[in-house]
Amino acid sequence: MRYILAIDQGTTSSRAILYTEDFEVKGLGQSPFPQHFPKTDWVEHDLGELWTSVTKSVEDCLASVKEPTFSKSQIVAIGITNQRETFGLWNKVSGQPVGRAIVWQCKRSADLCDRLRSTPAAKKLASISGLVVDPYFSGTKLRWWLENDRSVAAQAKAGELAFGTMDTYLIWKLTKGASHVTDTTNASRTMMMDLRKLSWSAEALKILKVPMGILPRILPSDAPFGVTRGLGFLPDGIPICGVLGDQQAALFGQECLKEGQAKVTFGTGAFFLLNTGTTPKKTKNGVSTVAWSVKGKTVYAVEGSVFISGAAVQWLRDGLGIFSKSSEVETLAANVESSDGVFFIPALSGLGAPYWAPRAKGLIGGLTRRSTKAHLARATLEAMAASVADAIEGLARDAKLRIRTLRVDGGASSNRILLQHQADLMRTELFRPKDLESTARGAAYAAALGSGLLKRAEDILGKNVVELRIVPRMKPAESKKIFGLWKSRVRAALKAGF
């Protein structure tokens, strides 16, 4: 038996899943790591803590395998998927980070983005990269770092530093510094890659004041990225041959190979991706991105990013202490038939698509003496669904498509109240696969293609079986009214300065 190891490096934890060559799960490990908030709206990760979480998740995954004949030598391929816009800088010789990684949720470059938006450079960057000028993406935060740390800027200019999103950092660590590479999906989230040429753009780098010498080599998603070396917890020589950013990996893992197929992943944030085929599409309400590059073919997608989704439930748990486990939100919300007028705009890290308002703050309203924590729990689930519907509406209009079916995954997709409200607001059928870990599965698919275990992308079809179908129950008029009320509240909150 041959096995594929998928490493899923996320925002709050790292996971490792061991698949057979038939994509049956045989081992699973997960390890959380700390979040650092040194200033308001700043979010950082310690790369050492992050790497420790990866090694522990792999060790726990392999230790969990029940097959008596299993051996690490049977692992023939490694796939990596990762939080995409988070990046770090480290010394090319010593491998030591020069500071903490800056996380995709961090807003430290908001002022810089405001200045850029008022110049022709914003349109140029959008034309080159397919992205909007927003702190969400790596490029403006990298420029901020270089402008605000003279020592780091000098080292970068001298070519002494390596830049990388988390896929690049993990490959560097797994290969003991032999490979400084990334794939097209992750590079497409930096604002520095030409979306059509699939290479670093000299013009974008000039605007962002980033030296070319610190950047990794861009490879297809199923390329030979390197082999393991000197790790201890894994044998030497295992090829890393599949890399996809987490949301693209979920689209691939959900087997959305045809133009017009779409998925939503409910994680820390919620991310809608729509396969747009082999040509990048312009969009006013979201961004255009690489979906994957496999077997010599690049497929594109448009994306709507909701920055806070499952993180809103975590905030109810950790910030307000309403319950002790995130899974309890559904039980609590089921205690009431409606939110009874209570609403929650969970802009705890700004607003993404379609508003792109990085300074927006969260807002809870509609409270009365009848309001309880159950109403707030239900309002949170409704807000998660409404945020996604809001992001999808504009993108579907841009793409001139009616989204009739939608595939869902991620931890929160186990919540039936959330899924029913999502289906009702969008008047769309939802399909949930048996394996909710579509992100890791997508990385495993890419690694299988890169290693030759699979010959064509179409060979993945039918391997992620649909387990649940959710159909709309709400009357169209009621759905329209509720969704309209959500949008009017968001607009009013933004106008009022929240």
Instruction: For residue range 289-311, list pLDDT tens digits in order.
Output: 999 999 999 999 999 889 899 99
Instruction: Tell me, yes or no, whether 170 lies in a domain.
Output: yes
Instruction: Tell me, yes or no, whether 173 lies in a domain.
Output: yes
230-277 pLDDT per residue, tens: 999 999 999 999 999 999 999 999 999 998 889 999 988 899 999 989
Mean pLDDT value across residues 374-403: 89
Number of other residues whose CB lies within 10 A of the CB of residue 401: 15
Instruction: Tell me, yes or no, whether 457 lies in a domain.
Output: no
Strands 13-20 and 3-9: antiparallel
Number of other residues whose CB lies within 10 A of the CB of residue 458: 11
Cβ contacts of 396 within 8 Å, gap of 6 or more? 274, 402, 403
Q: Cα separation of 404 and 282, whole Å?
A: 21
Confidence band for 411, pLDDT divided at 50, 70 and 90: confident
Is residue 401 pLDDT above 80, yes or no?
no
H helix or E strand, kind and range, residue 363: strand 363-365
User: Which strands make up the sheet holding 87-91, listed edge to edge?
Assistant: 44-45, 101-102, 87-91, 161-165
Predicted confidence at residue 94, as pLDDT, reads 94
> What CATH number does the domain containing 175 carry?
3.30.420.40
Mean pLDDT value across residues 118-137: 92
Is residue 226 pLDDT above 80, yes or no?
yes
343-366 pLDDT per residue, tens: 999 999 889 888 888 889 999 999
Cα-only R_g, the chain: 22
What is the dihedral sign for C-alpha 54, 59, 65, 71? positive
Instruction: Tell me, yes or no, whether 474 lies in a domain.
Output: no
Q: Cα separation of 104 and 43, whole Å?
A: 8
H helix or E strand, kind and range, residue 337: none
Contact between 184 and 221 (Cβ < 8 Å): yes
Confidence band for 400, pLDDT divided at 50, 70 and 90: confident
Instruction: Tell me, yes or no, whether 59 lies in a domain.
Output: yes
Tokens of 179: 């490979």
Instruction: Tell me, yes or no, whether 354 lies in a domain.
Output: no
User: Which strands make up the sheet holding 13-20, listed edge to edge?
Assistant: 25-32, 13-20, 3-9, 75-82, 239-245, 226-227
- How many structural domains are present in the chain? 1
Contact between 430 and 408 (Cβ < 8 Å): yes
Instruction: Tell me, yes or no, whether 125 lies in a domain.
Output: yes
Instruction: Tell me, yes or no, whether 226 lies in a domain.
Output: yes
| Total-model pTM | 0.89
* Domain span including residue 143: 3-246
